[in-house]
């Protein structure tokens, strides 16, 4: 029998308060997304039915959500492919070899982390235009591949845990360096790739300003810009806006609940190291 | 490739593997940064063929015009709430680091806001903060507090926006602190127990000192993040009411893309980068002083 412990109870009270704070806004969104035009405007009251999907159908059509999800998926897929290939290549070159100027390159990648993306758009904007990428899916893809360096850190950290003896014994057998990268290092970096894919997917899915700036064209809408355009036209139509919020939030929330282990290990390993 | 010596192969790998990543880094990060320095001394409008030199006029304008420089005052609520957010993040990390039922459930729940789409979160809080139908005012009316205009009142708006950041990032920071806590060897706690230290002594003399490095990193990210606030006011208030929630980056973007004054916008970007660099070096000096 444990003695009554005040601190122990305080912990639970604090945790429950925190849980309430986290869940309060989504709860309101959830109950109001199912309300029709003539239902109660009290934000806490339950809808007449949780099977009333009218708002969702309306929003999905009027905010071109189908197009938005397709575009977002294309951008995520192509950007990730580029990030995985270039990230593993960079990590192999920087993590396995010593050469003059290596420190400088490392420093250059590190320096890029403190530059807020939006500040450089003043110049990048005219570059994207002159490359002919303005109002194409290529603009965000090129920027997500070229201007982000998080993958370099995740891979570099991971590759340092792969014993160099593996490379050495492969060289004893006469394997070429490219072969070592392709058949050994790349597959062994698999867990890091998984973490990267999840974190980057969430990042790109959440990115608003780059698509907003470079793809004003109507059929190049992405998830983040679709709700902005829709809410701009449907001010204070809370039933619709809540439905839009839910449609957008559910995919990443589901992904998170299924893959949380990878996310936590990625977040902690990325942060504690720096 | 297998016909070459390993020395040659190494050269080929280094050149071919680093060419694209380093090239892209130069093209999209360093070239724009250098070009911004050059443009910041001009009055370029974003599309003219010619760029005319006007010396330090843009910088003078930033530091003399209270409409530009005064905007930094709007960042103070973000810094304050960011600091409070870190304190809560440490508190909850310590709580979740102890033996507790439902630890993982609470960790998953508190981290949840971080992975939600930022724009959707912004609109979710627009509904929470709405003056007439908002859930926050409905909640407050239970305890007899009259309707507050959270996003429409000039003195409150930045605190409202900053608290959205608190909601979104507290759990993320908590998970980072939790990772640092779990790296503290368990036998240090055993030793502390044997020495007869109570819970608060252990927290103060063992846990907090072990978190110093990560607290410093997070403070840096909190302050620089507060300087670079953009999304929330851009989506929710467009800098209103009456410019009360304008941020420095919002002004920069307006200056460039609405008023086509790319010279001044470049100077503003440079000022922000220099400030970030200053905070970073200041932190280095402080850390080295402590250790030196």
Within 8 A by CB and 6+ apart from A149, the residues are A109, A112, A113, B25
Taking CA–CA distances from B273, the nearest residue in chain A reads A115
Asked if A236 and B231 come within 8 Å (Cβ–Cβ), the reply is no
Q: For helices B118-129 and A6-33, what crossing angle results, to 10°?
A: 90
For B119, the closest of A90, A178, A227 (CB atoms) is: A227
What pLDDT is stored for residue B46 in this prediction?
87
Q: Taking 50 as the threshold, does the pLDDT of residue B218 lie above it?
A: yes
A134-169 confidence digits (pLDDT tens)? 999 999 999 999 988 888 988 998 999 999 999 999
Among positive and negative, which fits the CA dihedral A74, A78, A79, A80? Answer: positive
For residue A221, pLDDT beyond 50: yes
What confidence score (pLDDT) does residue B1 get?
67
- pLDDT given for residue A4 in this prediction: 65
Banded model confidence at residue A195, pLDDT cuts 50, 70, 90: confident
Give CA–CA dist B158/A13, Å, rounded.
Answer: 29
Alpha-carbon distance A253 to B192, whole Å?
40
Tens digits of per-residue pLDDT, B18-66? 999 999 999 999 999 999 999 999 999 988 888 999 999 999 999 999 9
| Percent of the residues in chain B that have a pLDDT greater than 70, as a whole number | 98
* pLDDT of amino acid A8: 86
Please tell me what DSSP assigns to residue B48.
Answer: -
d(CA A218, CA A225): 10
Give me the pLDDT at residue B106, please: 97
Q: Do B127 and A171 touch (CB under 8 A)?
A: no
Least confident of A124-133, B168-177, B247-256, B277-286: B277-286
Confidence bin at A48 (pLDDT 50/70/90): very high
Min Cα–Cα distance to chain B from A190, Å: 19
Chain B residues whose CB is inside 8 A of the A28 CB are 124, 127-128, 135
pLDDT of residue A272: 47
| Residue A1 binned pLDDT confidence (cut-offs 50, 70, 90) | very low
Name the phi and psi angles at A95, rounded to 5. -90, -15
Higher pLDDT, B197 or B3: B197
Residue A273 banded pLDDT, cuts 50, 70, 90: very low
Query: Which residues of chain A make contact with B169, given a CB cutoff of 8 A?
Result: none
Q: What is the pLDDT of residues B85-128, one digit of tens each?
A: 999 999 999 999 988 889 999 999 999 999 999 999 999 999 99
pLDDT band at A235 (very low <50, low <70, confident <90, very high): confident
Contact of A140 with A211, CB cutoff 8 Å: yes
Band of residue B291 on the pLDDT scale cut at 50, 70, 90: low
Q: What angle do CA B74, B116, A148 make, to 5 degrees?
A: 75
Contact A84, A197 (CB under 8 A): yes
Interface test with A, best of B6, B115, B198, B256 (most A CBs within 10 A): B115
Percent of chain A surpassing pLDDT 90: 77
Chain B neighbours among A 240-259 (CB < 8 Å)?
241-242, 244-245, 248-249, 252-253, 255-257
Tell me how far the alpha carbon of residue B82 is from its chain's centroid: 9
Collect all residues of chain A within an 8 Å Cβ-Cβ radius of residue B124: 25-26, 28-29, 245
CA–CA separation, B258 and B270 (whole Å): 19
Q: Look up the pTM and report it.
A: 0.93
Strand partners, B53: B42
Which has more confidence, A267 or B141?
B141
| A116 vs B249: CA distance, rounded Å | 10
CA dihedral B98, B99, B104, B105 (to 10 degrees): -100
pLDDT at res. B2: 65
The pLDDT value recorded for residue B99 is 85
- Helices B103-115, A6-33: axis angle to 10 degrees equals 40
Mutate to test the interface with A, among B6, B11, B32 (most CBs of A within 10 A): B32
How do residues B249-283 score in pLDDT, each as one tens digit?
999 999 999 999 999 999 999 999 999 999 989 88
The shares of helix, strand and coil residues in chain B, as percent rounded to the nearest 5, are 75, 0, 25
The phi-psi region of residue A174 (left if phi > 0; otherwise alpha if psi is between -120 and 50; otherwise beta) is: left
Residue B19 CB neighbours (<10 A): 12
pLDDT at A274: 43
Q: Say how many C-beta atoms besides its own lie within 10 A of residue A189's C-beta.
A: 23
Q: Are B58 and B44 in contact (CB under 8 A)?
A: no
Chain A segment 14-53 residues within 8 A of B by beta carbon are: 14-15, 18-19, 21-26, 28-29, 32, 41-44
Check residue A3 and give its pLDDT: 56
pLDDT of res. A231: 94
Which pLDDT score is estimated for A42? 87
């Amino acid at each position: 029998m444990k003695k009554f412990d005040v601190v122990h109870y305080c912990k639970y009270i604090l945790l429950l308060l925190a849980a309430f704070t986290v869940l309060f806004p989504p709860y309101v969104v959830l109950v109001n997304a199912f309300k029709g035009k003539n239902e109660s405007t009290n934000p806490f009251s339950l809808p007449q039915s949780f099977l009333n999907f009218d708002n969702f159908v309306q929003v999905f059509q009027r905010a071109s959500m189908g197009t938005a999800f397709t575009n977002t998926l294309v951008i995520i897929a192509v950007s990730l492919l580029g990030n995985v290939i270039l990230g593993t290549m960079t990590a192999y070159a920087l993590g396995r070899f010593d050469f003059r100027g290596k420190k400088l390159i490392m420093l250059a990648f590190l320096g890029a982390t403190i530059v807020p993306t939006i500040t450089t758009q003043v110049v990048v904007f005219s570059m994207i235009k002159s490359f002919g990428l303005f109002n194409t899916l290529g603009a965000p893809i090129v920027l997500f591949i070229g201007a982000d360096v998080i993958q370099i850190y995740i891979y570099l950290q991971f590759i340092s845990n792969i014993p160099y003896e593996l490379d050495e014994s492969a060289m004893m057998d006469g394997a070429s360096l490219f072969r070592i990268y392709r058949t050994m290092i790349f597959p062994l970096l698999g867990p890091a790739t998984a973490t990267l894919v999840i974190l980057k997917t969430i990042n790109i899915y959440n990115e608003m300003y780059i698509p907003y700036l470079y793809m004003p064209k109507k059929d190049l809408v992405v998830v983040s810009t679709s709700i902005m355009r829709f809410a701009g036209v449907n001010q204070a139509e809370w039933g619709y806006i809540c439905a839009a919020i839910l449609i957008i939030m559910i995919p990443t929330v589901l992904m998170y609940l299924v893959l949380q282990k990878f996310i936590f290990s990625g977040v902690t390993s990325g942060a504690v190291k720096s | 490739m297998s016909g070459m010596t390993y020395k040659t192969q190494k050269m080929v790998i280094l050149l071919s593997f680093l060419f694209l990543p380093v090239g892209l880094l130069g093209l999209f990060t360093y070239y724009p940064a250098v070009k911004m320095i050059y443009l910041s001394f001009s009055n370029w409008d974003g599309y003219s063929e010619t760029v005319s030199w006007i010396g330090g006029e843009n910088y003078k304008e930033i530091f003399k015009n209270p409409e530009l420089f005064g905007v930094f005052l709007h960042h103070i609520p973000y810094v304050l709430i960011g600091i409070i957010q870190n304190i809560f993040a440490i508190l909850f990390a310590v709580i979740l680091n102890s033996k507790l039922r439902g630890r993982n459930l609470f960790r998953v729940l508190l981290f949840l806001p971080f992975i939600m789409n930022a724009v959707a979160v912004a609109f979710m809080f627009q509904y929470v903060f709405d003056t007439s139908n908002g859930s926050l005012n409905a909640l407050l009316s239970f305890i007899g507090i009259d309707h507050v205009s959270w996003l429409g009142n000039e003195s409150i708006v930045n605190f409202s926006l900053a608290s959205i950041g608190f909601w979104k990032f507290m759990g993320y920071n908590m998970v980072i602190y939790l990772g640092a806590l779990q790296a503290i060897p368990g036998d240090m706690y055993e030793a502390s127990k044997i020495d007869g230290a109570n819970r608060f002594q252990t927290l103060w003399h063992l846990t907090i000192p072990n978190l110093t490095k990560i607290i410093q990193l997070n403070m840096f990210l909190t302050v620089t993040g507060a300087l670079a606030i953009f999304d929330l006011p851009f989506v929710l208030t467009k800098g209103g009411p009456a410019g009360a929630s304008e941020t420095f980056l919002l002004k920069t973007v307006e200056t460039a893309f609405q008023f086509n004054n790319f010279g001044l916008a470049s100077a503003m970007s440079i000022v922000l980068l220099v400030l970030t660099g200053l905070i970073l070096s200041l932190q280095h000096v402080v850390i080295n002083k402590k250790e030196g």
